[in-house]
Homo-oligomer: A and B are copies of this chain.
Amino acid sequence: MSNTLKEVLASNKKYSENFTKGSLSLPPARKFAILTCMDARLDPAKFAGLNEGDAHVIRNAGGRASDDAIRSLVISHKLLGTQEWFVIHHTDCGMQLFTNEIMGNLLFETLDTSEFDGKNWRNPNAKGGSIEGKFINWLTFANLEQSVVDDVSRLRYHPLVPPYIPIYGFIYDVRTGKLIEVPKAMEIGKPR
């Protein structure tokens, strides 16, 4: 068993020994959802003041309003009653450090994908890596504020998103722990 696995299970043992949250119900008590980045430095429960049971938290690379984030948010609202959504990107995000082209080439050229079995390439076109990465939109971005505006805008005008849900756009500053409003996103995200 790896050290990581041992440590996670030891932490979980401690957490469950003092567990007092066993009777919470399924729908979020505070009726809102946060979409943010997977970045290790972000702890949405801490930076937004959430207790267990309060709010949905959706996280992916960049905190982007991907199709899958929309799947999650529509379920969050329609089946589980959230009425307000936050989109929170952050400073020093990895998604600003590369592009679709860089990622596609990197995965095509390097050795450690499952198309290599240790001896042979199962796919003769997978020279050094896999072509698959070139068929994925990695959802990188060049401008942080604009990425928040774009994502709030995509949600605001999505056919499955009700016009009365406020969508708030923020940037989390990893140096200060502060949430900074993105005014243009807040304007676009207002209920219509």
B30 near A4 with CB under 8 A, answer yes
Q: With A and B bound together, what is the CA distance between A74 and B110 in angstroms?
A: 13
Q: How far is the CA of A58 from the CA of B66 in the complex (A)?
A: 13
Instruction: Check A133 against B40 for contact (C-beta < 8 Å).
Output: no
| Number of copies of this chain that the complex holds | 2
Contact among B7, B22, B76, B94 for A80, CB-based, below 8 A:
B94
Out of B136, B159, B175, name the residue touching A115 (CB < 8 Å): B159
* Contact assessment for A59 and B57 in the assembled complex, using a CB-CB cutoff below 8 Å: yes
Majority SS at the chain A contact face: loop
A selection of 29 A-B contacts at a CB cut-off of 8 Å is A4-B30, A4-B32, A4-B84, A8-B32, A11-B49, A16-B178, A22-B176, A24-B174, A26-B41, A27-B40, A29-B40, A38-B57, A40-B53, A59-B60, A60-B60, A60-B69, A71-B136, A74-B133, A75-B103, A78-B106, A78-B110, A80-B94, A113-B159, A113-B162, A114-B157, A114-B160, A126-B159, A130-B159, A132-B160
What 7 pairs between A and B have smallest CB-CB spacing? A11-B49, A68-B68, A19-B177, A28-B40, A16-B177, A61-B72, A112-B162
